[in-house]
Each structure stands twice: as C-alpha cells, then as structure tokens.
Amino acid sequence: GAGVSQSPSNKVTEKGKDVELRCDPISGHTALYWYRQSLGQGLEFLIYFQGNSAPDKSGLPSDRFSAERTGGSVSTLTIQRTQQEDSAVYLCASSNRDRVNYGYTFGSGTRLTVV
C-alpha cells in the first residue's frame, strides 16, 4: 500500500486479556519498528526488525510483550495478560534501510485501552 497500515485503530480490552496489534508496512521496506506513546508522553521504542536479522527487542517492557514479523512483511505485536499501564497508542513505522535518507514512515497507530 501507499502507507503504513495499522489495525485495529482502536481496541478496548479487559485487564488480563491478550491482544494482538497488526502492522502492514510499506511494500519493499525492509525495516519495521514498534513504538508506544502513553498519553501526553514521547515515543518509547519497543522492537525493531530488519530483514532476516535477529530483532532488536531491547525496548520491550516485559515478557508479556512479544512481536513477530512473518515473511519480512506484516508484523504482529502481542500483549499477554494486559494491564492498565499498557494503555497507550502503539505506533508502527517502516523504512527502507538501503535508503536511510528518507527516514521512517509511521502508521496512524492503534489506541489500546485496558479497562
């Protein structure tokens, strides 16, 4: 597609439930990133995928968070046993690592609310 697509745009879930957030990057972009943004805060790095290399998971806040990227394209961020502090906007971005001059392209995010 023309841009980075994220779904769902909004998700309300009960505390303790698992959620899956999806990201469709720009076709041909080899790098994919997940960030989250709590209300009124800056962006917090979560995880980075680049091609077939091992992902950089250094930003995942706990072992309840995991992500995968299938076939070098679509990525899913999974949060298990959600907590209220997980409420945030989860942003996905992609870039063509071979063309770093163009920066990232971000999606519009998934707003997760844990009640």
Partner 1 sequence: DAKTTQPTSMDCAEGRAANLPCNHSTISGNEYVYWYRQIHSQGPQYIIHGLKNNETNEMASLIITEDRKSSTLILPHATLRDTAVYYCIVRSHSGTYKYIFGTGTRLKVLA
On whether the CB atoms of residues 27 and 74 are closer than 8 A, the answer is: no
Q: Which residue of 25, 29, 35, 94 would you call a contact of partner 1, by CB under 8 A?
A: 35
3-class secondary structure, 42: coil
Site string for partner 1, 68-97 (x = CB under 8 A): -----------------------x-x-x-x
**Judged by CB, which is closer to partner 1: 80, or 96?**
96
DSSP state string for 69-87:
EGGGS-EEEEE-S--GGG-
Cβ partners under 8 Å of residue 63, min gap 6 = none
Q: Is 56 in the site for partner 1 (CB under 8 A)?
A: yes
Site for partner 1, rule CB under 8 A: 4, 31, 33, 35, 41-45, 48, 50, 56, 59, 91, 93, 95, 97, 100-109
